[in-house]
């Protein structure tokens, strides 16, 4: 049976997730991978920032430079669940693989690594570094089904660098303009860009309902469009629960809450009315109402961007593996996967 709700991105194979630090972009990338890995599909979740965030989120050993199965995806309406694989891409390992593939260096390449040449090369030429990182993602996304020795992935999710650097990171051709005019690495950059600028790729942006992250999201969208890179959806993360009505929020903000009712509710719940308790609760309600007003104003700005938008709640107990599955289910229900 087909899925009950068609996803918003049926043609997309590579989902790039970016966002300002603190918006939870890595959590969103992991949840999206779990959501996409349904109906028997295989999904590869990649990271390129060297923090081993995937290993911590899924409570597994630090990842090597090799694809490793780390989780079972959500079960689809057809009763099937796929698998999530993970890959930690570091520039040094990617360069050694590149040297082995194009220059047949083998052991000589590993000797360069011991002498620090590899680190030197990837540090002085950040454009080359990004080509190596994105090149590995490209290889996984474009892998031929006829290669029986390698896993074929229906989707690839990339936990990418933050919004302020995402256009530069993905626009590898521009970064190489002053470094390489021809040769294998220039050819690889050209090939990578054909995927990144195709309908098979989208860049999703993670944000929270605060002024700076929303502004950075707006700027990131402009940068991506200027680089002719495909913009996907916006994931609004860490949304507070809407458990108070508009009238109640206004009363809390203006200090007009019914104190007698609060006291009655506390007594009905067998809570002792200690000195200052009602005042403290009223102050908490006021702060919550102020925060909600700020969030609503920022939500209006996000809506003006005119992109598909998805919302994820702030989980009271933090995000563990169970929380990731909960967020994955919400993304799928909203049509992101």
What is the rounded CA–CA span in Å between residue 174 and residue 183? 16
Could you give the CA distance from residue 245 to residue 166 in angstroms, rounded to a whole number? 39
Other C-beta atoms within 10 Å of 186: how many?
17
**DSSP readout, 158-193?**
EEPPPHHHHHHHH-HHHHHTTT-SSSHHHHHHHHHH
Report the interhelical angle of 126-141 vs 117-124 (nearest 10°).
Answer: 100
Contact 43, 157 (CB under 8 A): yes
Are 127 and 179 contacting, i.e. CB atoms less than 8 angstroms apart?
Answer: yes
Place of tokens 């458990």: 243
Reading across the β-sheet that carries 81-88, which strands appear in turn? Answer: 68-75, 81-88, 42-47, 155-159, 14-19, 201-207, 231-239, 309-313
| CA nearest to 202, candidates 65, 11, 45 | 11
Residue 159 in contact with residue 48, Cβ under 8 Å?
A: yes
Yes or no: say if 229 and 203 are a contact pair by the CB < 8 Å rule: yes
Q: What is the model's pLDDT at position 175?
A: 60
Residue 148 has what pLDDT?
A: 67
Three-class DSSP category at 43: strand
Average pLDDT over residues 122-148: 75
**Domain spans of the chain, in order of start:** 14-240+314-332, 244-305
Residue-wise pLDDT for 210-243, tens only, equals: 999 999 999 999 999 999 999 999 999 999 888 8
| Cα–Cα distance for residue pair 4/18, rounded to 1 Å | 28
Query: Is residue 118's pLDDT more than 70?
Result: no
pLDDT digit string, tens, across residues 160-188: 999 999 999 999 866 654 555 555 667 77
What is this structure's pTM? 0.86
Q: Span 14-240+314-332: which CATH code?
A: 3.40.50.300
The confidence band for 2, taking pLDDT boundaries of 50, 70 and 90, is very low
Average pLDDT (91-98) is: 74
């Amino acid at each position: 049976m087909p899925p009950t709700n068609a996803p918003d991105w049926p043609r997309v194979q590579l989902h790039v997730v970016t966002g300002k630090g603190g918006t939870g972009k890595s959590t969103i990338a992991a949840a999206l991978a779990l959501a996409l890995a349904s109906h028997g599909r295989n999904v590869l979740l990649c990271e390129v920032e060297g923090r081993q965030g995937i290993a911590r989120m899924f409570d597994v050993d630090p990842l090597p430079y090799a694809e490793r199965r780390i989780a079972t995806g959500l079960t689809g309406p057809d009763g099937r669940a796929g698998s999530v694989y993970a890959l930690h891409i570091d520039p040094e390992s990617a360069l050694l693989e590149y040297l082995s593939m194009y220059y047949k260096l083998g052991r000589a390449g590993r000797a360069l690594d011991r002498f620090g040449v590899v680190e030197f090369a990837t540090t002085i030429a950040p454009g080359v570094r990004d080509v190596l990182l994105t090149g590995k993602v490209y290889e996984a996304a474009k892998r031929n089904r006829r290669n029986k020795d390698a896993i074929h992935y229906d989707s690839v999710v990339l936990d990418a660098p933050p919004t302020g650097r995402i256009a530069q990171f993905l626009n590898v051709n521009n970064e190489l303009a002053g470094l390489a005019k021809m040769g294998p690495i220039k050819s690889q950059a050209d090939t990578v860009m054909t995927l990144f600028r195709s309908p098979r790729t989208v860049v999703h942006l993670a944000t929270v309902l605060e002024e700076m992250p929303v502004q950075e999201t707006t700027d990131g969208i402009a940068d991506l469009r200027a680089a002719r890179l495909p913009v996907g959806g916006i994931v609004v993360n860490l949304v507070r629960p809407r458990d108070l009505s508009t009238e109640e929020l206004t009363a809390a903000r203006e200090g007009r809450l019914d104190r007698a009712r609060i006291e009655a509710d506390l007594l009905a719940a067998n809570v002792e009315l200690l000195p200052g308790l009602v005042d403290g609760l009223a102050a908490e309600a006021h702060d919550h109402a102020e925060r909600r007003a700020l969030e609503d104003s920022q939500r209006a700005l996000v809506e003006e961007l005119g992109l598909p938008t998805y919302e994820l709640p702030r989980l009271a107990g933090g995000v563990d593996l169970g929380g990731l599955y909960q967020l994955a289910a919400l993304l799928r229900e909203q049509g992101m996967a």
